[in-house]
């Protein structure tokens, strides 16, 4: 059965006010794209669904904000807002947030492409989400996301060490750049969720990769080797209905909580070595 989709669901754009702008935007380690608008403005009303669509597509990777400039007049004046909508990119330079004028288009695809170019130019792309708890999974992969979640089960850090794990994450990152925003990539350490792995038919070992449609509650398992080109081919096949899919039972999927990877190599505890 074919499953596909794109960004959708609840509005992911963040409403900002004078009270939280500094904390959320200025003090953030991440760059932001912020729209200063007026509720009565026709151009703003036209932009709203495009902005929401772009925010949904970029959710988990880049934040889009909205400021009602008629209510937050001091904030609008601080950033030289004179017409509506005014869009500014807040970028980090020399440890400080600097506002830059946005000169891109006003459709969702224009906005997403602008942000993608910014991320590629600055190298500020967020790392792939590690699913260290059920809450993280629900945030990354839920029914509000009408695209496809790509969940990799990577070998235990004791088996792969940091070099091997980073190599596999790089392969996922390379595939991600090629397949577009319909897919949201994430990973979990293999062996932490034996019951789930069994239900997904992943008895062949790690690494393993599944594509999940949370809106249709179906999944497909990649059978080929864990290479960027194979991941790209598999996901394109999923979109075209060329990969067999199975219903996820039960839904929602439940994932076990475990400590996040610290980015380092691992060694057995001393007491294990003494046995």
The catalytic site residues sit at 41-44
Contact 67, 14 (CB under 8 A): no
Alpha carbon 163 to chain centroid distance?
A: 23
Query: Cα–Cα distance between 37 and 82 in angstroms, integer?
Result: 10
Question: What is the crossing angle of helices 228-239 and 157-179, to 10°?
Answer: 50
Query: Cα–Cα distance between 125 and 128 in angstroms, integer?
Result: 9
Contact 13, 64 (CB under 8 A): yes
Query: Cα–Cα distance between 44 and 6 in angstroms, integer?
Result: 23
């Amino acid at each position: 059965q074919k499953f596909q989709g794109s960004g959708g669901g609840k509005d992911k754009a963040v409403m900002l006010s004078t009270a939280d702008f500094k904390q959320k935007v200025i003090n953030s380690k991440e760059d932001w794209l912020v729209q200063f608008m007026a509720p009565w403005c026709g151009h703003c009303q036209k932009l709203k669904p495009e902005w929401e669509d772009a925010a949904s597509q970029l959710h988990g990777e880049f934040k889009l904000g909205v400021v009602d400039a008629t209510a937050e007049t001091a904030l609008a004046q601080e950033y030289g807002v004179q017409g509506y909508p005014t869009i500014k990119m807040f970028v980090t330079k020399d440890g400080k947030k600097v506002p830059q004028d946005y000169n891109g288009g006003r459709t969702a695809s224009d906005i997403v492409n602008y942000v993608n170019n910014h991320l590629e130019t600055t190298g500020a792309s967020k790392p792939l989400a590690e699913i260290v708890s059920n809450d993280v999974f629900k945030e990354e992969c839920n029914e509000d996301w009408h695209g496809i979640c790509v969940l990799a089960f990577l070998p235990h850090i004791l088996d792969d060490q940091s070099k091997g794990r980073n190599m596999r994450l790089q392969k996922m990152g390379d595939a991600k750049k090629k397949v577009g925003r319909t897919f949201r990539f994430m990973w979990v350490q293999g062996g932490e969720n034996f019951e789930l792995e069994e239900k997904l038919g992943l008895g062949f070992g790690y690494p393993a990769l599944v594509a999940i449609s949370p809106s249709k509650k179906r999944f497909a398992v990649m059978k080929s080797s864990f290479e960027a080109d194979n991941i790209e081919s598999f996901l394109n096949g999923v979109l075209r209905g060329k990969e067999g899919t199975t219903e996820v039972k039960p839904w929602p999927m439940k994932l076990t909580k475990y400590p996040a990877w610290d980015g380092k190599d691992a060694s057995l505890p001393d007491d294990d070595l003494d046995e």
